[in-house]
Structure 1
Amino acid sequence: DERVNIFYALQQGEMMNILPLKDDAAHKWYSPGEDLSAFSGRDSLFAAKIFGWYVQELVEAQHTGNYAPAKEVIGMINTYQHAQAHQSLINEGRIRAELCYNRLNLFAHASKAYLMSGVVLLILLIFGILYPQQRKWKLAGYFFIALPVLVFLAHTAGIGMRWYISGQAPWSNAYESMIYVAWASALGGLLFIRRSPITLSLATILAGVILFVANLNSMDPEITPLVPVLQSYWLMIHVAVITASYGFFGISFLIGSLTIGTLAFSKRLQAL
């Protein structure tokens, strides 16, 4: 239902804020399907006609295979945006970074890598505990520790790219909060790795599950402006600390559950 509504809105020229209003105090951008009465003069004519012109050229290109006229219209829109918009809103570096960010899809790949490395590492560590005389299990476990570290670095790079693109701390909505909690979970595992390698494996599995949930269709990954309630320096302090604590709490829960399960299993073996 959501996809059908998005497709319909795009057909009506909505959801694409490509038309900046010159000298607007709020720097508002309009979609071609919106009420464009705020535009005047030549700007009004351009705003009303340009999208329809582009769609017409695009449909024609589907038959002829010549997309040059459609690209020319895109160039006109680009020129208009640079002429009318506040220049700080159009940063070529951020545009290139966002294209790269979308192409890499780091968080989806990190989810699979976290889960795979976490499960394998946990199995190897358990075998190392059960068979301490065989060093191969312990050595293989240490080898697989390197993979979560590499995935964590890629995860960190993804958060950094999102921060650079949006210009704000990337934990301001549901999707970003999930991404950040997963990062905090992986960080917690790395911080306590010297005390217990199993902590890293559990933290890695938790991070993978959180990223998997974040990438479901119910989560919107769109980079959006801050809502008014979060437009405060407390976003960097209060929200960051509280959101990160969920990751550490999740690790504590998994360690506690594993400990209780291990104790119960060992007592049952002793009873037998």
Structure 2
Amino acid sequence: VEQGRSNLKLLDLFDERGLNKLEPYLEAATRTNNPNQIQKDIIKVYENVYLLNQALSGSILKIFPLPNNESNKWVAYPELQEANFTGRDSLFTKNILPLYFDALRSARETGDYAMADQFLDGMKNFQKKFGAEVIPSENKIKAEIIYNQADIFNRLYRYFALMGILMFVFIIFQIFNEGKLINAAVVGSKIIIWIFFALMTLGLIGRWYISGHAPWTNAYESIIYVAWATVFFGLAFGRKSNLTIASTAFVAAIILWVAHQSWLDPAISTLVPVLDSYWLMIHVAVIVASYGPFTLGMILGTTVLLLMLLTTKKNLPKMELNIKELIIITEMALTVGLVMLSIGNFLGAQWANESWGRYWGWDPKETWALISIMIYAFVIHARLVPGLRGNWLFSVFAIFAYASIMMTYFGVNFYLTGLHSYASGDVPVTPTFVYYLLGFFVLLSTASYFRYKKYYIKKG
């Protein structure tokens, strides 16, 4: 491939003999347990080429339901010989797709799609005749089209980020110089964030209606649900705290941005058998929702340290008031999160007993959930220990304790092997931004400590 080209034709990947040029590199990439980035890209391109070939050959389009099939199996056009259709059904399935494509080619020249639409209606009627049990209703189909066109969650992370930053700037101005215009800007920002939350809720309800099950069954859905829970608790706890709402909007933007990275599939899929349980509505809903208050506590802890860093002798009284308010909300959020995580863990034990015949098995997910419970129990009770009191230390604890939630949620799923894991043997590379974030929090904690020591420690 010539240097500088950003796009390829499918034929560019094959030589004169029709062999895939990626084959030699693919073998080397699949032999290693820890492929580098180039090898991962080769595997990804090969998978995409395979999917494109499947689509072009028609193998990926399962459009013909088998008559009277107990498992409601559908087959693609190349699989018709093995499907054993008989009589008129056999004649229909063998001819309808070529006829439809011919009609489409003619329609491109004439602009008349009437014949193509007739063939399409014929396929639709055939599907309804033999596959009605698994065909979504017209309302669900319309709802899914609207959901896909709206692309709510992908758009909202940009809007949340914008409003979170703007509201935070407005609040900083409000702290230094309060006025009617700036107050109106803060109130307007708050109302817009409430509207965004309503749209998130509608998106979750729509996804639930379309799929027919609770929308927290895979990695993408659970991240979306964590974002929703974070905004919910942020708005609930921050009814009288504008800084809480601004911080919530910003962290919601980050969570939604993560949800729309290329390694997560946003497709609405069917429910796997192990999750087809009423416990999905109880255990998963409670335990994943608990990540919302913990996320809120982390971002509020960060906000407190930033306020300490911005403290001067002139604005000290206002900063003290805002910090006191945020500390109270942080403690409330962490307490609610701890209660929910503990209850969710006990409910998970009940589900584990029904599914696997034991309440506890030291599975990585169970173990790390317990570790998170112990860490947050320490954080909350540390404020009762004389040597560990102080708003600065509590905020630092709230930030770094969140690492246990990240390990419970992402680490177990992708780094460890267990009943709750998505790991497949390959060791994933930790994203670079994680190290930058860690460095940022260490620097913020260090820098804010000197301001805390100068302006606050004498009063505490």
- What is the TM-score when the length of structure 1 is the normalising length? 0.89
**Alignment equivalent of 1:104, drawn from 132, 145, 150:** 150
2:104 corresponds to which residue? 58
Stretch moving more, 188-197 or 31-40: 31-40
Distance 2:451 2:136 in 1: 65
Counterpart in 1 of 2:202?
157
Deviation sequence 1:142-170 (CA, Å, 0-9, x none): 12100011111111111111111111111
Of 52-61 and 219-228, deviating more is 52-61
Q: Give the aligned residue type for 1:172.
A: T
The answer to whether the 8 A contact 1:37-1:44 is kept is no
- Do residues 113 (structure 1) and 139 (structure 2) align? no
Given candidates 14, 17, 26, the residue that maps to 2:59 is 14
Deviates more, 1:46-55 or 1:261-270: 261-270
Equivalent residue for 2:293, pick from 241, 248, 254: 248
Q: Where does 1:164-243 land on structure 2 (aligned, <5 Å)?
A: 164-243=209-288
CA RMSD, Structure 1 to Structure 2 (Å): 2.4
Offset, 1:11? 0.8
Are residues 82 and 38 of structure 1, via their aligned partners in 2, closer, same or farther at CA, if it must alter by over 3 Å? same
- Give SS of 1:249's match: helix
Q: Which runs of 5+ in 1 are unaligned?
A: none
CA shift, 1:10, in A, is 1.4
- Which has the greater radius of gyration? 2
Give aligned pairs, total. Answer: 271
Give structure 1 regions of 4+ aligned residues with deviation exceeding 6 angstroms: none
CA shift for structure 1 position 194 = 2.2
State yes or no: 1:84 paired with 2:156. Answer: no
Separation in structure 2 between the aligned mates of residue 98 and residue 158 of structure 1, nearest angstrom: 11
- Contact 2:227–2:256, Cα closer than 8 Å, also in 1: yes
Matched, 1:148 2:193: yes
Aligned counterparts of 2:85 and 2:257: Cα–Cα separation in 1: 47
CA distance in 2, matches of 1:212, 1:34: 40
Q: Deviations over 1:198-234 (max 9, x none)?
A: 1111111121222222233332221111112211111
Cα distance change of structure 1 residues 222 and 34 upon mapping to structure 2, 3 Å threshold = farther
When residues 36 and 198 of structure 1 are mapped into structure 2, their CA distance, relative to the original with a 3 A threshold, is farther
Q: CA deviation at 1:29?
A: 2.3
**Deviations for 1:240-262, whole angstroms, at most 9, x for unmatched residues?**
11222222221111111221233
Give the share of equivalent positions with the same residue, in percent: 36
Which one of the candidate residues 28, 34, 42 is aligned to 2:73? 28
- Structure 1 residue 134 corresponds to structure 2 residue 179: yes
In structure 1, what is the Cα distance between the partners aligned to 2:216 and 2:244? Answer: 25
Give the Cα separation in 1 of the matches to 2:266 and 2:135.
20
